[in-house]
Every structure is written in structure tokens, then in C-alpha cells.
Amino acid sequence: MFGNFIYFIVALLIYTTYQPSDETNFTLFGSLGLCLFLTLVFAQFTRSVFRKLEYRILQNRLFHLDHRFDQLVTRQSILAVTLFAIAIYGLNLPSFFVNVPLFRSMPTLLAILFLALFVFFLSIVWAGAYRCHRLMHRSDVSLRSYVVSNIMFSAPVLLPWVILSGVLDVIYALPFEGPKRLLATPEGEIAYFLLFLTTVAVLAPVLIQWFWRCHPLEDGDIRHRIEAVCRMARLKYSDILYWPIFGGRMITAGVMGLVGRFRYILVTGGLLKQLAPEEIDAVIAHEIGHVKRYHLLFYLFFFVGYLLVALVPLQLIIIAVFYVSPSYYFIEMLSINQTTILNIGIILLFLVYFRLIFGYFMRNFERQTDTYVYELFNSATPLISTFQKIVLTTGQSPDKPNWHHFSIRQRIDYLKKCEADRSWVKRHDRKVKKSIALYVAVILIFGGIGYSLNFGESGKRIDRHFRETMVQRELQRVHRELQASPENADLHRLLGDLTYEAGELKRAIDAYGDAIRLAPNDATAINNLAWLLATSEDTALRKPATALELALRAATLDPAPHILDTLAESYFINGHIQKAIEIEALALKKARKGRAYYEGQIRKFKEFRAKEEIGD
């Protein structure tokens, strides 16, 4: 089940790293048609592989095929992620909808739409797996309940991002400049993120228990036993709830919530019906262990740590890849740009980080909470018998591997070792503490490297040399391609960008001029030439009148914020200060990113006007 969390987050990364483009591989109907075709092929293939497994189960009456079932679910889920990536990157589906007025003002709605498409792909897998699941686990849960339970269990992992992004959409849609101005600064972004993270960490259980359709456990002997165990552990909580996952037939329990007022103890009907009272006590003690050993707090810290652990390796990998000539030319041959490498790196590092590192901590935290039973009771025998009942009632192998739990046999064996020698409890606690200390040390090291790369002098030198190297290599590539395609306007525009970056302004003017000659309606080339002529440090190259003429032409073609900024700058150097302020204000109103820059431009224009008025 927990694997679904990774699939959902990877799908979110795939969507959020995609940059919509006007240039798509197919037309709208072509992309939709291909998406439908691939979906039908995927659905048929999924149905076929699970029908074969179902036949084997029925023929042999074997329940040891559980591992094969999990393999197929994993494989088909990965194919669902792949199909989603094709729909986003290969078929460019978001590019056809980003300019719809509703989605342009509320981009989160479009994200929800495409994430719903991913949920549909995964639902095909769950629907195909249903019959095999029912046979192997001797379950009478309905198809609808099985699919909905999978969706409802996994979807809350996306809620924080949806709320975070949705609130930002609302802020930018409202006519209040204060919040927008605050969010335009790095300090404001960090403050908003930390405030949001804290709020979600505290209040999320309230939303999740509603999302999972939990309801309070009725008053009675079982509730009283659970309450007694919580009192024994001095655990504060809000309520004890039924957890109706997969019809409530699973033998499982859970705890969620960092703060007692918003903490919930979750139990399934299957656990209450099939376990003895002492076994229920042991399971609740296990769940309490997650709170008492601060695992929930560490998980939150672990998610934040990903930002540091991921950022630094990505920067180093990109620098290394583009500095090493063979790898650079190989990437160039495959026509892979830096953004694509960055996006692939983000997803791969996420998988490594959560599947391996996070998985390591989850497995060892689970073992630590298994041994927490000894904090409340003299023996873990009831917990051992619970594991044995899970094997008997589900038919799953006790040796079944799991990335976030040790196998049931491994958990039973370790508890038996603790029964014979309690020093094994302390040994494992020490192992967990050492692992956390090592993790924190690595995080601090990465934090130091990240600070040096992004804010230190050494990082600035590396960045400057990296940019210069990349510009020269790109210039060589563009010159080669221009020899083969001298009438390619995009190449001439790119040549202009690169020579401008290299400080060769006269060559940049010529290149932009060639691009405009070949593509008279290329707003980007027109805008870039206007900006150069308006802001060049070489006064001999400045042409205010020509810059204004070009900027007006570019803004007519595409009134994007950065193009309006060029127009405002052009009005400014031509002495039309009020007009410059008005146009820059319009650019600020349209901008969703970099708002501090546009505000700085407005201040510059107003300060200049104020000085002129004083001079007069």
C-alpha cells in the first residue's frame, strides 16, 4: 500500500516539472487520440496478465502466489506512471489547456485534472488486480470498495501540495498586493512554506480521517482496553476511530498526529474481530511507540531534508555532466537540455531517497515500535501471535519482502530474540540513534555545500565559469547547425542570446536582426533586440527610438510580463516616465514569478521622476 505513495508523488513531480510549450509533438486531437489508444492497450494488457495469474490460483489453489501478485501490481503501477509521463511529456497534453482562462488563473485546477488522469491509470491496475486479491486473501470486499480504498488511502499524500498550490492561486487572483509582494521575496516564500508545513503537520490528521471516512469506535470493552493502554503510556489523543480501509477487513492499526489534540488512533474491524484482547493491546502499544519514539516528527524532518539532499547532488551532477566533454557531446547528440536532465535527476533522486534511505528508517522504526511493547508489557508474545494470525488469515508468505517493513518472519524472529535476551531491545535503539545521528550529519554537510554553492564566493566562481563554458560550447554547436540550416530563425535567435550572454553585443544585434528578417512575428527575438538597444552599457549601441518601436511591436504580438517590462524600459529611456510606470504596473499585475523585480523597476521609475521634479 505504501508503494502507492511513491507512485503518486512521482506523478506529481512529472506534472510539476513539465514546462508547457507552444510547440507540441501532435495536434490536440492527435494527442487525445493517441492517449486513448495507449490507455486501451494498457487496460487490455493489465487485464490479460492478471487473468493469467487468476487462472494459476484457481488451478492450483495455491496462496503462495502472493509475491507474484505484488510483483505484477508493482510492474503495472510503474507502467501506469510511464503512461502518465508519456501523456505529459510525449503528448504534451497540459500545453493544450494552460491558456484556458480558468486554468490560467487557477493552475492548481489543471494539475488536479491531470492527477485525476493518473488516478484513472492506477485504477485500471487495481480493477485488474481485484479478482486475484479476492481469491488469495479470501476477501469478500467489492470491486468498487477495493478500488476506492486504494484511491482514498493514497490520495491524501497529495493534499498538502494541492492546498499549498491552491492557496497561492487564490492569493494571486485576489486584488491585494501585500501578500503578493511578500511572496515575491525569498524570505516571504520561506516563511509561507514553513508556516504552511507546520499547519499541515498539525491539522492534516483532521482532514485525513475525514478523507478516509473514519468514525469513532463505539463505547464498550474494546474501547476501554485501548484507552487503558493509552493511559498506561500517557498518550494524549483526540479520538479512537474505525478505519474502514478495504472494508475494514485488514488486520491493521495506525496512529497519526503530532499534537495530542489532533492525534487519532485508528483500528480496523478485522483487527477487532480476529485478535484476542491481549493482542489488541500489543498492537496499540506498537502504534503508541511511533509517537513515543518521535517517528512522526522525524518523518516530517525527513521530508524537509529531501530538499537539501536532492538539491546539492543535482547541482554537482549537472556541473560534472556538462563540464566533462564526452558526456556533454553525448547529451547534445540526444538533444537533451539541462532542464530535462534536472527533471530526470529530481525523479531518480526522489526514488533513491525514499525507496532506499526512507525505507531503511521505516523498517527500523517498525522494529523499534515492535520492541516498544516491552515498555508497557512484560512479554511480546501477543504481538508475535498477531503476526502469525496475519499470515494465517491473509495467506501471505511470512518471508514476503517489503521495502518499508521487515518480513513477518524477521519481525517474529527478532521479538523471540528479545524474549530470550532483552539486551536486543537496547541494541536496536542504539542502532536507530546512530543512524539518525549519521543522517543529521550528512544533512548538515549537504547544507553547508549547498550554501557554499548558492551563496558563497566559491559557488559564484563555479557558476560564472560554468556559464562561460556552456555559452562557448553552445556557440560552437549553433555555428555548426547554422552552416547546415542558414535560414533557421530559431538558430539565429539563439545565436543572439548566446552572443549577448558572452558580451558580444554587435554580433548579438546582427543575429537578432537575421532572426527577425526570417521570422517577422517572432516576439521573443523582437523583444530581446529591443532590450539590448534600450539597456546596452555601450552608449554607441543604444537606440532609444528603435528600441521603443520594437518593444511596441513585441508587446502587440505577446503582452507577456517580461515583454511589457521591455516596453516600460523603452518608454523610460525615451523620457515617457508616467507611461513606463503604467506599463510596468501592468507587467507586475500579470506576473506570477519574480514580482520583486517588477516592483524594483517601478520604484526606479518613480525615484527618477521624483528627482526630476525636485530639479525642476
Ordered strands of the 253-256 beta sheet: 215-216, 239-242, 264-267, 253-256
Which of 245, 61, 47, 78 has the alpha carbon at shortest distance from 136?
Answer: 61
Q: What distances in angstroms separate CA 422 from CA 245, 294, 417, one per listed residue? A: 35, 22, 8
What pLDDT score does 39 carry?
98
Which of 184, 202, 237 lies at the terminal end of a domain, its last residue? Answer: 184
Residue 538: strand, helix, or coil: coil
Taking the C-alpha atoms of residue 12 and residue 119, their distance in angstroms, rounded to an integer, is 11
Do 367 and 406 form a contact (C-beta atoms < 8 A)?
A: yes
Does any domain span residue 400? Answer: no
Which burial class, exposed, middle or buried, applies to 426 when counting CB atoms under 10 A from its CB (0-12, 13-18, 19+)? Answer: exposed
Domain that holds residue 173: 1-184
Q: What is the dihedral of CA 460, 463, 468, 470, to 10 degrees?
A: 180
What pLDDT score does 64 carry?
62
76-116 pLDDT, tens digit per residue, is 999 999 999 999 999 999 999 988 888 988 999 999 999 99
Does any domain span residue 66? Answer: yes
Do 482 and 492 form a contact (C-beta atoms < 8 A)?
A: yes
Does any domain span residue 231? Answer: no
Residue 604: strand, helix, or coil: helix
Which of 153, 184, 215 lies at the terminal end of a domain, its last residue? Answer: 184
Does any domain span residue 369? Answer: no
The low-confidence residues of the chain, meaning pLDDT below 50, are none
Which of 435, 257, 279, 421 has the alpha carbon at shortest distance from 359?
Answer: 435
Name the DSSP letter for residue 260.
Answer: G
Count of CA atoms in the C-beta half-sphere (13 A) of 614: 6
Do 121 and 42 form a contact (C-beta atoms < 8 A)?
A: yes
Does any domain span residue 394? Answer: no
The residues facing 265 across adjacent strands are 240, 255
Taking the C-alpha atoms of residue 405 and residue 498, their distance in angstroms, rounded to an integer, is 52
Do 290 and 368 form a contact (C-beta atoms < 8 A)?
A: no
What pLDDT score does 317 carry?
66
What pLDDT score does 338 carry?
61
Which of 133, 167, 184 lies at the terminal end of a domain, its last residue? Answer: 184
Which burial class, exposed, middle or buried, applies to 580 when counting CB atoms under 10 A from its CB (0-12, 13-18, 19+)? Answer: buried
Q: What is the DSSP string of 499-515?
A: HHHTT-HHHHHHHHHHH
Does any domain span residue 492? Answer: no
Name the DSSP letter for residue 372.
Answer: T
Helices 338-352 and 295-323: crossing angle in degrees, nearest 10, is 140
Name the DSSP letter for residue 96.
Answer: G
Does any domain span residue 425? Answer: no
Q: What is the DSSP string of 243-257?
A: --GGGGTS--EEEE-
Name the pairing type of β-strands 239-242 and 215-216: antiparallel
What's the domain count of the chain? 2
567's grid cell:
516596453
pTM of the model: 0.76
615's grid cell:
530639479
User: Which residues have a Cβ under 8 Å from the Cβ of 529 and sit 6 or more positions away?
Assistant: 496, 509, 512, 513, 516, 550
What pLDDT score does 298 carry?
93
What's the one-letter identity of residue 396? Q
Which of 611, 598, 536 has the alpha carbon at shortest distance from 177?
Answer: 598
Does any domain span residue 526? Answer: no
Q: How far apart are the first and last CA of the chain?
A: 74
65's grid cell:
502466489
| HEC assignment per residue over 125-193 | HHHHHHHHHHHHCCCCCCHHHHHHHHHHHHHHHHHHHHHHHHHHHHHHHCCCHHHHHHHCCHHHHHHHH
Residue 570's CATH number: 1.25.40
Q: Considering Cα of 503, then 504, then 510, then 511, what sign does the dihedral take?
A: negative
What pLDDT score does 471 carry?
75
Residue with the three cell numbers 499534537: 259
